Structure 1
């Protein structure tokens, strides 16, 4: 019996050793894949060509949690990603735009020198709008965190937890959304998360070195611990967003529905582009027409708001603003 038991024990030990040898490499492979993922998300992706023009703005209902942490608005952080990745052409809709509008106001009043070349029709349109936000997972919204929201300042114990940020544990859960400005469709959304122990990946990859953050007014995100955690979370979301947008059209303007036309003079909706045959209907100034994309010289095929289709002389219309 003892010999039999000893043999059974030896067999079991041998089998366990084999299992550990098999499991060891698999575990190492899994860990390597996880590490590879972290290394990839700690690097700003670079695109071969821009996916379009984009503006970055804060959400309308945003609480200025960043002021309590002496951080700039997260939109400045995202603009660093956009500039370094070359995935979008960035258009300013903030302080720079306000200054540009002030110059245009001076031009319209005749106060600028002749030949300044500032006027209408020069501002580049944004194809997309990107909004950085926090994941709404604040289970303590009715507790201590509410004190940190007063005055839009979050700091100390009162603001230890808000939305997707836990300042005490140094964790961040964020979200990025992209909206097509022409169709108002939300074309992409991605979440990102990071914690204090992930900071090493960003540091080893050189993410926080160099002057990119400071030059863009986002130095706090590279110089503070919570700032680095938030940076890694948003970078993970940004990387996923770029992967999602790989199928976007090369020209967002041409890919969208054609802008509506407004009738400027009394006209007729014709049955064909040659003007022969009976008119489909009379068109009054102010009516809206929707181009189908078909053109024959100055004649455009359109539909009215009742679904009538026909041709109209484009000289009798203007783009509806």
Structure 2
């Protein structure tokens, strides 16, 4: 029994030394041991990370969707045994009060099931499950992860601690590695399909490799399915916290991008022949007619160039933020067609 107790004591000393020298199991990322945690209800939240960005009012509604076919998702769920990132991100978003979260996952399927029950007449008439009550998602955020792991040797000196039991302690130290996760978030406008924001975040820390001996010491080392209990999970959560913070900082100062002629009207990088064809299809008479509708042209619609037509085109170009040439060029044609 004394030998068994001695082994246990030396092993515990080795783990304690590892913690004190390297901080390998203490995830001091994202402002605390659990980068993302707590709860949210409406605009209120508890336990949010101190470093999480916060908004005075929401900027719109948001759905979170991840591509389960991407390679990173296989690593996340297969190698690290971690669940979907969606609940983690949705918690951060609601705690920040920067967006109102709408569900487009499993709960959505259940919601549609309730509506099917209502349509079948099985629900009570007071259930109020009629159409027109669901809220649209203004934006969709798409997360992704890039993993990197480098084995480290900073704690290898611990292999000599503990005399005859140095091999046990050395095995623990040898399993240590540097875990790093880089995450990205893409924010897309659901109505236009335009990407309105993109952000990248990262986190890095020292942790124990899979198969470490921490499970016996109540650290939760065997619970690989929780972002708050595993080093890998905490690093990923902290990286997403960083990504989200970067995205919020950018959208707070958001200014829409402008393209001459309007979005999707051909762009400024003209392909030979393409813009000419568009210009020819839209005649000068068409332009005069549209300018007249806009109150910029008061002469006869005859399709002939003249000072009045040139002045009207110049005025339109000026108010549209286009180069003022007085000519019916491709950008002006696209802008007129977009009106």
**Per residue, is there more strand in 1 or in 2?**
1
